[in-house]
Amino acid sequence: MRRRVLVRGRVQMVGFRMFAARVADEHGVGGWVRNTDDGRVELLVEGPVWAVQAVVRRLAEGPAAATVTGIEHQELPIDRPLTAFRVVG
């Protein structure tokens, strides 16, 4: 399963990208995370259904310094498998 995830709230400058990378590594998913110009954090997460769903649930909680006010996600087709997870911006 591949999902694009957008997280809004107080999610930049609070360690959210590093939190997301750690959660992704814990669940063995591939993809990437980056800050957006409008203050959100965007992710692409790919892996087994159970792992992607677990990552999305953890993102909704966020790290202690963050305040997540909303999360949007949509399933996307897998065109080229992603095996590693990285912080891209």
Report d(CA 67, CA 86) in Å as an integer. Answer: 22
Report d(CA 62, CA 78) in Å as an integer. Answer: 26
Catalytic (active-site) positions: 17, 35
What per-residue confidence (pLDDT) applies to 83? 85
DSSP conformational letter for 20: H
What per-residue confidence (pLDDT) applies to 89? 78
Could you give the percent of the chain with pLDDT greater than 70?
A: 100
| Closest to 51 (Cα-Cα) out of 75, 26, 72 | 26
Q: What is the pLDDT of residues 20-50, one digit of tens each?
A: 999 999 999 999 999 999 999 999 999 999 9
Catalogue all structural domains in the chain, each as residue range(s) with its CATH number: 2-87 (3.30.70.100)
User: pTM (2 decimals)?
Assistant: 0.94
